[in-house]
Structure 1
Amino acid sequence: MNGLLVGRSAELAGLVRVLQSAAEGVAGVALVGGDAGIGKTRLTAELVSEARERGFHVLVGQCAELGDSLPYLPLADALRGAEPVVREAAAAHPMLGQLLPGMQSAPSTGLTQQRLFGSLLGLLADVQPVLFVIEDLHWADRSTRDLLVFLSRMVQSEQVCVVGTYRTDDLHRRHPLRSVLAELKRLPTVMGVELGPLASGDMSDYVATLGEMGAQELDLIVARADGNPFYAEELFAAVAEGDSLPDGLASLLMTRVEVLSESGQRVLRAAAVAGRRVEDELLREVSGLPLAEFEDAVREIVSRGLLRVDGYGYTFRHALLQEAVYTDLLPGERTRLHAAFARLLTSPAELAYHHLASHDLTGALSASAEAGRLAERLGAPAEAHSHYDRALGLWERVEGAAALVGETRERLAFRSAVMAADSGDNHRAIVQLRALPPTSEVSERLAYYLYEAEDQPGAIAAAERAVESAEDQAALARALATHARTLLWSDRHRDVEAVTARALETARAAGVRDAEAGALLTLATYVELRGDRDKAHELIEAASTEGSGDLAMDLRARFHHARIHYEQGLLAEAAEVADAGIRVAFENGLNWSNYGTDLRFLRFLIHYVAGEWDQAEAVASGFGARVGTLPEAILSSFALFIEVARDLPAVGERLSRLRPFWYSELAAYMSRGLAAEHALWHGDPATALDHVRAVMAPMVNGEASALRMAAIGLWALAELGTTEGADDLRARARRAVDSGPIVGPGALGPEGRAWALRVEAEWHRVHGRLDVELWRQVVEAFDFGFVYEVARARWRLAEALLAAGDREGAQAEWDLARETAAKLRAAPLENALAELGRRARFGGGGQGDGGLTAREIEVLRLVAEGLTNREIAERLFIAQKTVSVHVSNILGKLEVSTRTQAAAAGRQRGLLA
Structure 2
Amino acid sequence: MRVLDSAAQGTAGVALVGGDAGIGKTRLTSELAAEARERGFHVLIGQCAELGDALPYLPLADALRGAEPAVREAAAAHPMLGQLLPGTDNASSAGLTQQRLFGSLLGLLADLQPVLFVIEDLHWADRSTRDLLVFLSRMVQSERVCVVGTYRTDDLHRRHPLRSVLAELKRLPTVMSVELGPLGSGEMSDYVATLGEVDAHGLGLIVARADGNPFYAEELFAAMAEGDSLPDELASLLMSRVELLSEAGQRVLRAAAVAGRRVEDELLREVSGLPAAEFEEVVREIVSRGLLRVDGYGYAFRHALLQEAVYTDLLPGERTRLHAAFARLLTSPAELAHHYLAGHDLAGALSASVEAGRLAERVGAPAEAHSHYDQALSLWERVREAERLAGESRVELAFRSALMAADSGDNHRAATQLRALPPTSRVSERLAYYLYELDDREGAIEAAERAVESAEDQVALARALATYARTLLWTSRHQEVEELSTRALETARAAGARDAEAGAMLTLATFVEVRGDLARAHELVDTASAEGTGNLAMDLRARFHHARIHYEQGLLADAADVADGGVRLAFETGLKWSTYGTDLRFLRFLIHYLAGEWDQAEAVAAGFGARVGTVPEAILSSFALFIEVARGLPAVEGRLSWLRPFWPDELVSYMSRGLAAEHALWQGDPEGALEHVRAAMAPLVPGETGVVRLAAVGLWALAELGTTEGADELRASARLAVEAGPTGDGGHMGAEGLAWAARVEAEWHRVHGRLDVELWRGVVSAFDFGFVYEVARARWRLAEALLAAGDRDAAQVEFGLARETAGKLRAAPLENALLDFGRRARFGSGGSGGSSGAGVPGDGGLTAREVEVLRLVAEGLTNREVAERLFIAQKTVSVHVSNILGKLDASTRTQAAATARQRGLLD
Same fold (TM over 0.5): yes
Distance 2:380 2:474 in 1: 41
- CA deviation after TM superposition for structure 1 residue 744, in Å: 4.3
Q: 2:830 aligned with 1:836, yes or no?
A: no
Distance 2:358 2:638 in 1: 47
- CA deviation after TM superposition for structure 1 residue 694, in Å: 1.6
Distance 1:712 1:618 in 2: 26
Q: Contact 2:367 / 2:405 at 8 angstroms: preserved in 1? A: yes
- CA deviation after TM superposition for structure 1 residue 746, in Å: 2.5
- CA deviation after TM superposition for structure 1 residue 207, in Å: 0.6
- Choose from 254, 261, 271 the match for 1:269: 254
Distance 2:387 2:423 in 1: 20
- Choose from 451, 459, 472 the match for 2:457: 472
Distance 1:805 1:176 in 2: 72
The one-letter code sitting in structure 2 at the alignment partner of 1:644 is V
- CA deviation after TM superposition for structure 1 residue 743, in Å: 5.8
Match of 1:776 in 2: 761
Match of 2:557 in 1: 572
SS of 1:389's partner is helix
Q: Contact 1:66 / 1:353 at 8 angstroms: preserved in 2? A: yes
The one-letter code sitting in structure 2 at the alignment partner of 1:496 is V
- CA deviation after TM superposition for structure 1 residue 127, in Å: 0.8
SS of 1:639's partner is helix
Q: Contact 1:529 / 1:743 at 8 angstroms: preserved in 2? A: no
Match of 1:236 in 2: 221
Matches within 5 A, 1:28-67: 28-67=13-52
SS of 1:342's partner is helix
Q: 2:482 aligned with 1:497, yes or no?
A: yes
SS of 1:26's partner is coil
Please, which runs of 5 or more residues in structure 1 have no aligned partner? Answer: 1-15, 852-913
Stretches of 4+ aligned residues off by more than 4 angstroms? 846-849
- CA deviation after TM superposition for structure 1 residue 704, in Å: 1.9
- CA deviation after TM superposition for structure 1 residue 691, in Å: 1.2
Match of 2:75 in 1: 90
The one-letter code sitting in structure 1 at the alignment partner of 2:439 is E
Change (3 A) 1:268 1:219: same
Distance 2:501 2:775 in 1: 41
Q: Contact 2:796 / 2:832 at 8 angstroms: preserved in 1? A: no
Q: Contact 2:726 / 2:733 at 8 angstroms: preserved in 1? A: no
- CA deviation after TM superposition for structure 1 residue 698, in Å: 2.6
Q: Contact 1:441 / 1:475 at 8 angstroms: preserved in 2? A: yes
Q: 2:664 aligned with 1:679, yes or no?
A: yes
The one-letter code sitting in structure 1 at the alignment partner of 2:674 is L
- Choose from 109, 116, 120 the match for 1:135: 120
Greater displacement, 454-463 / 33-42: 454-463
The one-letter code sitting in structure 1 at the alignment partner of 2:352 is A
- CA deviation after TM superposition for structure 1 residue 692, in Å: 1.1
Greater displacement, 687-696 / 591-600: 687-696
Q: 2:506 aligned with 1:515, yes or no?
A: no
- Choose from 319, 322, 341 the match for 1:334: 319
- Choose from 641, 645, 651 the match for 1:666: 651
Distance 2:70 2:114 in 1: 13
Q: Contact 1:275 / 1:322 at 8 angstroms: preserved in 2? A: yes
Distance 2:644 2:438 in 1: 27
- CA deviation after TM superposition for structure 1 residue 215, in Å: 1.4
Distance 2:796 2:227 in 1: 98
Q: Contact 2:514 / 2:733 at 8 angstroms: preserved in 1? A: no
Match of 1:789 in 2: 774
Distance 1:693 1:29 in 2: 38
The one-letter code sitting in structure 2 at the alignment partner of 1:727 is D
Match of 2:282 in 1: 297
Match of 1:213 in 2: 198
- CA deviation after TM superposition for structure 1 residue 811, in Å: 1.4
Change (3 A) 1:848 1:215: farther
Distance 1:239 1:99 in 2: 44
Match of 1:224 in 2: 209
Q: Contact 1:530 / 1:744 at 8 angstroms: preserved in 2? A: no
Distance 2:600 2:305 in 1: 54
SS of 2:644's partner is helix
- CA deviation after TM superposition for structure 1 residue 739, in Å: 2.2
Q: Contact 2:800 / 2:832 at 8 angstroms: preserved in 1? A: no
- CA deviation after TM superposition for structure 1 residue 111, in Å: 1.0
The one-letter code sitting in structure 1 at the alignment partner of 2:748 is W
SS of 1:531's partner is coil
Match of 1:252 in 2: 237
Q: 2:738 aligned with 1:762, yes or no?
A: no
Q: 2:619 aligned with 1:644, yes or no?
A: no
The one-letter code sitting in structure 2 at the alignment partner of 1:351 is L
Q: 2:404 aligned with 1:424, yes or no?
A: no
Distance 1:673 1:625 in 2: 17
The one-letter code sitting in structure 1 at the alignment partner of 2:138 is R
Q: Contact 1:132 / 1:161 at 8 angstroms: preserved in 2? A: yes
The one-letter code sitting in structure 2 at the alignment partner of 1:735 is L
Greater displacement, 684-693 / 385-394: 684-693
Q: Contact 2:543 / 2:563 at 8 angstroms: preserved in 1? A: yes
Distance 2:588 2:345 in 1: 56
- Choose from 151, 158, 175 the match for 2:143: 158
- Choose from 419, 424, 428 the match for 1:439: 424
Distance 1:221 1:739 in 2: 79
Distance 1:792 1:547 in 2: 42
Change (3 A) 1:195 1:429: same
- Choose from 686, 694, 698 the match for 1:701: 686
Q: 2:792 aligned with 1:807, yes or no?
A: yes
- CA deviation after TM superposition for structure 1 residue 695, in Å: 1.6
Q: 2:184 aligned with 1:196, yes or no?
A: no
Q: Contact 1:57 / 1:131 at 8 angstroms: preserved in 2? A: yes
Greater displacement, 724-733 / 167-176: 724-733
Match of 1:183 in 2: 168
Distance 1:741 1:836 in 2: 38
Residues 665-709 of structure 1, C-alpha deviation per residue, up to 9 Å, x if partnerless?
A: 211111011011011111111111111112222322322212111
Q: 2:714 aligned with 1:729, yes or no?
A: yes
Q: 2:360 aligned with 1:360, yes or no?
A: no
Match of 1:598 in 2: 583
The alignment covers a number of residue pairs equal to: 835
Q: Contact 2:726 / 2:732 at 8 angstroms: preserved in 1? A: no
- Choose from 666, 687, 703 the match for 1:718: 703
Q: 2:400 aligned with 1:411, yes or no?
A: no
Distance 2:722 2:428 in 1: 40
- CA deviation after TM superposition for structure 1 residue 848, in Å: 8.4
Matches within 5 A, 1:90-129: 90-129=75-114
Distance 1:734 1:49 in 2: 65
Distance 2:755 2:696 in 1: 15
- Choose from 135, 146, 151 the match for 2:131: 146
SS of 2:150's partner is strand
- Choose from 270, 275, 287 the match for 2:272: 287
Q: Contact 1:156 / 1:625 at 8 angstroms: preserved in 2? A: no
Q: 2:571 aligned with 1:586, yes or no?
A: yes
Distance 1:618 1:397 in 2: 60
Q: Contact 1:278 / 1:315 at 8 angstroms: preserved in 2? A: yes
The one-letter code sitting in structure 2 at the alignment partner of 1:670 is M
SS of 1:315's partner is strand
Residues 127-175 of structure 1, C-alpha deviation per residue, up to 9 Å, x if partnerless?
A: 1111000000000011100100000000011110000000000001111
Distance 1:150 1:51 in 2: 23
The one-letter code sitting in structure 2 at the alignment partner of 1:303 is S
Match of 1:882 in 2: none
Structure 1 vs Structure 2: percent identity of aligned residues?
83
Q: Contact 1:530 / 1:740 at 8 angstroms: preserved in 2? A: no
Distance 1:227 1:763 in 2: 73
- CA deviation after TM superposition for structure 1 residue 847, in Å: 8.4
The one-letter code sitting in structure 1 at the alignment partner of 2:698 is G
Residues 696-739 of structure 1, C-alpha deviation per residue, up to 9 Å, x if partnerless?
A: 22322322212111111111111111111111211221222222
The one-letter code sitting in structure 1 at the alignment partner of 2:591 is I
RMSD between aligned residues: 1.3
Q: Contact 1:794 / 1:814 at 8 angstroms: preserved in 2? A: yes
- CA deviation after TM superposition for structure 1 residue 754, in Å: 1.4
Normalising by structure 1, what TM-score? 0.90
Distance 1:754 1:68 in 2: 54
